[in-house]
Chain A
């Protein structure tokens, strides 16, 4: 077995279906043992990319290398890839044991070793006591575990997860996210996970890619992507984000003065992308905005607005506030202090502030 530094390398891969481009010139490298999540809205091309890696589909252009080998001519059944499907795709006519043994039999493992391997992987997912059950006799979470064990039992180079958690309820999903992560780290298997659930992407991954309209929008660690969104799409896709239109009135050292209608604010942005007079989009995350108390010190950006709506979410209160001075835009702000959840009523005035550091400026996409 070769030991290339990168387990997966995708070079200039595109996939077109007739006129529509599903994946447009994607590039990525994934190191051995890493957990990568590709996240994006439905139709962004993430599933197409995953199917090409698995070998169910071929790139129109570009190449895919797995473990240093170009897999263009390798059919799916000869690639060393375990995959967990969205609908799990367990074999209903086989027991959990037979499901996990299936790839071992197909890949011609020594029959004498198969029971031991199956047991090991069923124990890994804590299902060894249910080996004789058929899939329909197992709960949703247990079926997930069988699917994981089946995808891993033959020690593949690469594990692919195609939104396998999307059908589970929230509590089970969050439990399984941690479970996937535990197993992945225990085995050190290189993993690519595809999801539209940003929380899952942030929680599970070492590395994360945000896709939209077939294009890789940003590729970095979850923290870096969340804290430094590279463009307007990424800023809006992750977190609860409010967007405003404005015009650049001054630029200095990566800080922009932005005319937002009634007020001038300070935002963070790459100097090189802007010139004075440009129309721009500014974004701020709800958790970065502070509800300023009476007499509290103003922030770099401070406005007053009218509470339009209060949404109680249990652990926090979400306010929708309309700000006249910012072209009548609405923004969302959290209040995490349980003692103050009842403080602001609809139609009362609140004062809000946030720092320039968390106010992202992006060129308007034409």
Chain B
């Protein structure tokens, strides 16, 4: 009969035992209740730094730029905000941004849902892998490179226009307009949306859909009355993420918009680095953050707290 314990334990076991002993020494058992806090401390610190930054932004936004020195004046004032309200261009940029974010969100969800559904439900593992790889490939390229890729395809002398001219058709203005920006953003956001919707669809058992069918619902009704309501948490979560990312995006409007369709992020950038008016830029940033927070809060209020699968 083999001995119950070995004389020499495998090295890996010995090392792990030592590590555990060190951990026990550094973090005695009576602290165990606080272990959870230990692990979220880094995250809390990160968020804390962010909040401090936000505090500074608020501070900045309350000082007017001194045009003689190009530094912020010491006196507290709401002039920056008044300026934003008085200049119609900022309202226009704001509305343009919100409209684009809304359009992008709607279109992205519309495209992402069937994609995610197929990915979850297909019995073919080859198709599932193909869909997954197709989803991630653009991820690896990065946003700026991707936007330039669109320039190559859609530009004045890009692939599409070259082909059109060869066929004797007039060239089209495919970039440097609103549509191009929305299009680019949808393409950029699709993977995020799909990845957020997939778990929601996975959570709907196939039995549920069969049950709906056997109870008399054709696929359209089963989809409308059962699948869609049950996938709502995933859809809302994806919607919020896509909306906020689109609303704050900088690269797509810059590159595909070519300066014709500035978003708020562009305006903020210009205030800081073109106008050197950090007070105005900070005020714009605060407006953006406030607006985004309010919209997200409204969505959560309307759809319940279970939206990001935090609570069901």
| A pairs with B | yes
Across the interface, A107 reaches (CB within 8 A) one of B207, B216, B225, namely B216
A145 within 8 A of B: no
Contact B216 A103 (CB under 8 A): yes
Binding site for B on A (CB under 8 A): 54-56, 75-79, 81-83, 85-93, 102-103, 106-107, 150-151, 154, 160
A162 to chain B, nearest CB (A): 9
Contact B207 A102 (CB under 8 A): no
Contact B218 A91 (CB under 8 A): no
Across the interface, A106 reaches (CB within 8 A) one of B205, B208, B221, B229, namely B221
In this complex, the member of B212, B216, B222 whose beta carbon has the largest number of chain A beta carbons within 10 angstroms is B216
Across the interface, B211 reaches (CB within 8 A) one of A79, A89, A93, namely A89
Contact B230 A86 (CB under 8 A): no
Chosen A-B contacts, 14 in total, with CB atoms closer than 8 Å, are A55-B214, A56-B213, A75-B213, A75-B218, A77-B214, A79-B214, A82-B214, A89-B205, A93-B229, A103-B216, A106-B216, A107-B216, A154-B215, A160-B214
| Chain B interfacial residues counted at CB < 8 A | 18
Across the interface, A83 reaches (CB within 8 A) one of B214, B217, B225, namely B214
Bound complex: CA A106 to CA B215 (Å): 7
B210 within 8 A of A: yes
Instruction: Give the chain A neighbours of B218 by CB distance below 8 A.
Output: 75, 77
Contact B230 A92 (CB under 8 A): yes
Residues A87 and B221 in contact in the complex (CB < 8 Å), given A55-B214, A106-B215 = no
Across the interface, A89 reaches (CB within 8 A) one of B210, B225, B229, namely B210
B226 within 8 A of A: yes
7 nearest A-B pairs in the assembled complex, by CB-CB distance:
A106-B216, A89-B211, A103-B215, A89-B207, A107-B216, A83-B214, A106-B217
Contact A85 B216 (CB under 8 A): no
Across the interface, B217 reaches (CB within 8 A) one of A54, A77, A79, A87, namely A77
When C-beta atoms are compared, the residue in chain B nearest to A108 turns out to be: B216
Which B174-219 residues sit within 8 Å CB-CB of chain A? 205, 207-208, 210-218
A144 to chain B, nearest CB (A): 14
Contact B215 A56 (CB under 8 A): no
Across the interface, A77 reaches (CB within 8 A) one of B208, B216, B225, namely B216
Contact A76 B211 (CB under 8 A): no
In this complex, the member of B210, B218, B222 whose beta carbon has the largest number of chain A beta carbons within 10 angstroms is B210
Binding site for A on B (CB under 8 A): 205, 207-208, 210-218, 221-222, 225-226, 229-230
Given contacts A102-B225, A151-B215, 4 further A-B contacts (CB under 8 A): A77-B214, A89-B205, A93-B230, A103-B215
A177 to chain B, nearest CB (A): 21
Residues A56 and B216 in contact in the complex (CB < 8 Å), given A87-B205, A92-B230, A93-B229 = no
When C-beta atoms are compared, the residue in chain A nearest to B230 turns out to be: A93
Instruction: Give the chain A neighbours of B205 by CB distance below 8 A.
Output: 87, 89
B293 to chain A, nearest CB (A): 28
User: By DSSP majority rule, is chain B's interface helix, strand, loop, or mixed?
Assistant: helix
B143 to chain A, nearest CB (A): 36
Instruction: Give the chain B neighbours of A160 by CB distance below 8 A.
Output: 214
Contact B215 A85 (CB under 8 A): no
A161 to chain B, nearest CB (A): 12
When C-beta atoms are compared, the residue in chain A nearest to B221 turns out to be: A106
Residues A87 and B207 in contact in the complex (CB < 8 Å), given A92-B230, A102-B225 = yes
Contact A81 B214 (CB under 8 A): yes
Contact A102 B213 (CB under 8 A): no
Contact B210 A85 (CB under 8 A): yes
When C-beta atoms are compared, the residue in chain B nearest to A75 turns out to be: B218
When C-beta atoms are compared, the residue in chain B nearest to A85 turns out to be: B207
Residues A56 and B225 in contact in the complex (CB < 8 Å), given A92-B230, A93-B230 = no
Bound complex: CA A88 to CA B211 (Å): 9
B228 to chain A, nearest CB (A): 10
Bound complex: CA A91 to CA B221 (Å): 14
Residues A89 and B230 in contact in the complex (CB < 8 Å), given A103-B215, A107-B216 = no
Residues A76 and B214 in contact in the complex (CB < 8 Å), given A91-B208, A106-B221 = yes
Bound complex: CA A92 to CA B212 (Å): 12
A110 to chain B, nearest CB (A): 15
Bound complex: CA A62 to CA B78 (Å): 82
When C-beta atoms are compared, the residue in chain A nearest to B218 turns out to be: A77
Bound complex: CA A107 to CA B221 (Å): 11
Bound complex: CA A284 to CA B202 (Å): 48
When C-beta atoms are compared, the residue in chain B nearest to A162 turns out to be: B207
Bound complex: CA A83 to CA B211 (Å): 7
A41 to chain B, nearest CB (A): 21
Residues A89 and B216 in contact in the complex (CB < 8 Å), given A102-B225, A106-B221 = no
Across the interface, A154 reaches (CB within 8 A) one of B212, B216, B229, namely B216
Bound complex: CA A4 to CA B54 (Å): 77
B32 to chain A, nearest CB (A): 32
B222 to chain A, nearest CB (A): 8
Contact A54 B215 (CB under 8 A): no
Instruction: Give the chain B neighbours of A102 by CB distance below 8 A.
Output: 212, 215, 217, 225
Instruction: Give the chain B neighbours of A77 by CB distance below 8 A.
Output: 213-218, 222
B204 to chain A, nearest CB (A): 9
When C-beta atoms are compared, the residue in chain A nearest to B206 turns out to be: A89
Bound complex: CA A151 to CA B213 (Å): 12
Bound complex: CA A56 to CA B206 (Å): 11
Bound complex: CA A77 to CA B229 (Å): 20
When C-beta atoms are compared, the residue in chain B nearest to A78 turns out to be: B216
